[in-house]
Amino acid sequence: MADRRRFYDKLLQEHLARHRQMALVSGPRQVGKTTTCRAAGTDYLNWDDPDDRRVILRGPAAVADRIQLARLRATAPVLVLDELHKHAKWQAFLKGFFDVYGTRLRTIVTGSSRLDVFRRGGDSLMGRYFLYRMHPFSVGECLRIDVPSTAIQPPGQLEDEEWRALWEHGGFPEPFLRRELRFTRRWRSLRQDQLTKEEIRTITQIQGLGPLETLGQILAERSSRQLVYSNLANEVGVAIDTVRR
């Protein structure tokens, strides 16, 4: 896969240079969060790694010891905590870690779309972070990757090759940069499977995956049309309340 700089590389660089607050980076699966954040960091801990998880569970002091925070450095280290939202007490951990060590390093926390949902459950981190949501490649990002000084930017001419790649493969980095139709079809099928079996079920506590997958396909086909719950319920074969949920 081709290496390509992204707008979010510049955005994180600017954040780390200007702000003491933690950067919480959320976004859908496989949008490039880990790749971008690891490039900006000096130290990395992943909740999905059993060894890293044990360190995080032991608390802020154990994490500080793991990354050798007491060691003298020319510049402040940048710690990346990947998939931390899976930790049941991630907010309390971050609050304690930031309050004790926040002046001695910079912290980036990554998580899937669930990070947005769980973040709304309380304000224990108020004033300690800025939230950035990462999106797939777009026309705007293909044209420029500098952080804009104003909200509205002048129009630009996108190359035909870039436009065709966005149209045929979508903006998620791996299929967009690889640009192979066979790979893109397989990638989309796998991602849809992960979305229904892991992300949506975790948030909604829905157990019936068959009707959920059918409903997802119907909604994708009817994007921008009027939403009628009773019609959807009849097609999927479930109750109206189940469709709403």
Domain range for residue 61? Answer: 7-143
Domain assignment present for residue 56? The answer is: yes
Q: What is the predicted pLDDT for the residue at 201? A: 62
Q: What is the predicted pLDDT for the residue at 227? A: 87
Per-residue HEC secondary structure of the chain comes to CCCCCCHHHHHHHHHHHHCCCEEEEECCCCCCHHHHHHHHCCEEEECCCHHHHHHHHCCHHHHHHHCCCCCCCCCCCEEEEECHHHCCCHHHHHHHHHHHHCCCCEEEEECCCHHHHHHCCCCCCCCCEEEEECCCCCHHHHHCCCCCCCCCCCCCCCCHHHHHHHHHHCCCHHHHHHCCHHHHHHHHHHHHHHHHHHHHHHHHCCCCHHHHHHHHHHHHHCCCCCCCHHHHHHHHCCCHHHHHC
CATH of the domain at 55: 3.40.50.300
Q: What is the predicted pLDDT for the residue at 123? A: 57
Q: What is the predicted pLDDT for the residue at 208? A: 67
Q: What is the predicted pLDDT for the residue at 192? A: 80
- Number of folded domains that form the chain: 2
Domain assignment present for residue 185? The answer is: no
Q: Which residues of the chain have pLDDT under 70?
A: 1-2, 113-123, 197-208
Q: Do 17 and 131 reside in the same domain of the chain?
A: yes
